[in-house]
Amino acid sequence: YSIKESSAKMQTLSELRVTNSSRSDTGIYTCSATSDIGADEAVIKLIVQGLLACLFLN
């Protein structure tokens, strides 16, 4: 995984990228932010499923 942060106009953007994901990456992820004016958080549930097998019939 990688985490990227950037700032502009008094805002900070944070990005979590899960590359080459596998089923072991499945889970609950929480993003928390705090500042002088308050706090907030977002929770996501990530479900990594297996690859779909394609069937080609002649």
Q: What is the pLDDT of residue 32?
A: 95
In this structure, what token pair is assigned to residue 46? 């990530």
CA atoms of 52 and 30, how far apart (whole Å): 28
Q: How many CB atoms lie within 10 A of CB 54?
A: 5
In this structure, what token pair is assigned to residue 41? 């958080």
This prediction has a pTM of: 0.68
Summarised one tens digit per residue, pLDDT across range 43-56 is: 999 999 877 666 66
How far is residue 32 CA from its own chain's centroid? Answer: 13
| Cβ-based burial of 25 (10 A; exposed 0-12, middle 13-18, buried ≥19) | middle
Q: What is the pLDDT of residue 57?
A: 65
* Domain range summary for the chain, segments of one domain joined by +: 2-46
Point out the residues of the chain with pLDDT beneath 70: 52-58
